[in-house]
Amino acid sequence: MAAIVYCLFFLLLINHYHFTTTSALRLPSTTTIITPSSSLKMSTDNNNTSDFPPPADYSHLIIDGWFHERGTLWPGQSFALQIKEVLYHKPSQFQDVLVFESVSYGRVLVLDGVIQVTERDELSYQEMMAHLPLYAHPNPQRVLVIGGGDGGVLREIARHTSVTEIVICELDPDVIAVSKKYLPFVAKGFDDPRVKVHVMDGAQFMKEHQSSFDVIITDSSDPVGPASVLFETPFYKAMHDSLRDGGIICTQGECVWLHVDLIQRLIKAITPLFSSVEYAYCTIPSYPSGQIGFVIATKKGAAVGGKKRSIDGEDKEEEVVGCKSPVRVPTEAVQKELRYYTPEMHRAAFVLPAFAKRAIFGDDE
């Protein structure tokens, strides 16, 4: 009898342990929860990923039930969100991955201590990152996304009926798997049948696919750790070479309030590569200083299979240089679904504050 009671007690204990380590828990105060990811499996392309150092632990950013975003890229300032529930917290092979339910911003994805997606405001970044280059292109068919493993940019690209193929190269399979499980509002981008997923280094993929894409979007994290190469000239040269004639790139371009020097250096360095290089931005309260920019550049030549570029979809003969005006506009049905992008917002996004315009492009622009 004693043995049966002992066994029952042991089974109860195991069950309790399993529950508390695999389920979302209420946050008492400073608790972080490590959730096993054995169910998060995904096939990977051939990758040599042994160069990356093990991810640091970012548990110290959770204090008294609040997540504090403190980064070396924005010294002396911090944005904090109150946590309702930690849903996932575990290092991947490349970075610390945290998902929590917040009190006022819905679900939040954090990589290496930096907010990537909040349910409340992700729409501005994902819509502008996708639609600025796509509506500036007369006939985008093949689109490549580098990074963007949450799927939000894919969701927006999928709204374009001219697009026949959407390829995504994301290095970290855990970001895809975690987003599919906890952030379905963005990860639904993966459901479109035109999407092909490659878990590999985007630079390597582009080397193998020269002159192949009408639009290339790099939805990266910030220039520290594995993402730092994505802000360097060789990566932009690789994007240029992987574009078809008349193709367009759009990359995460940091923030004029914080990184105007970095943006200026980058734009100066890549200007000789492209026929136009421009800078736009959107507002987004959960990113440092409440906004983020995009570097948008075009490759010389007429777009392959494209109609003549004409302003706002009107049939004008005038050739448009650069991407400051849309050459197509959303259909009424698509516009109803969009929450941030409009053709007016497209044009407005390129209008920079005087200090930023002067610092990035000089006095002559």
Cα→Cα distances 87→97, 143, 200, Å = 11, 32, 26
Applying CB under 6 A, which of residues 219, 298, 326, 352 lies at the interface with ligand SPM?
Answer: 219
* H or E stretch covering 156: helix 152-157
- Catalytic status, residue 219: yes
Q: How far is the CB of 253 from ligand SPM (least distance, A)?
A: 9
Interacting span for ligand SPM (CB under 6 A) from 168-176, 204-212, 249-257, 294-302: 249-257
Q: How many CB atoms lie within 10 A of CB 274?
A: 22
Q: Does 127 bind ligand SPM (CB under 6 A)?
A: no
Q: Does 148 bind ligand SPM (CB under 6 A)?
A: yes
Q: How far is the CB of 289 from ligand SPM (least distance, A)?
A: 7
Give the separation between CA 356 and CA 273, rounded to whole angstroms.
22
Write down the catalytic residue from 219, 241, 261, 315.
219
Contacts with 216 (C-beta within 8 Å, 6 or more apart), sequence order: 143, 144, 145, 146, 206, 239, 242, 243, 247, 248, 249, 250
Q: Does 320 bind ligand SPM (CB under 6 A)?
A: no
Interacting span for ligand SPM (CB under 6 A) from 37-45, 75-83, 285-293, 295-303: 285-293
> For residues 10-29, which are near ligand SPM according to CB under 6 A?
none
DSSP conformational letter for 108? E
Q: Does 292 bind ligand SPM (CB under 6 A)?
A: yes
- Strands 66-69, 62-63: pairing kind: antiparallel
Q: Does 222 bind ligand SPM (CB under 6 A)?
A: yes
Q: Judge contact between 215 and 162, C-beta under 8 A.
A: no
Residues that bind ligand SPM (CB under 6 A): 114, 116-117, 125-126, 148, 150, 152-153, 219, 221-222, 252, 254-255, 258, 287-288, 292
What residues are annotated to the active site?
219
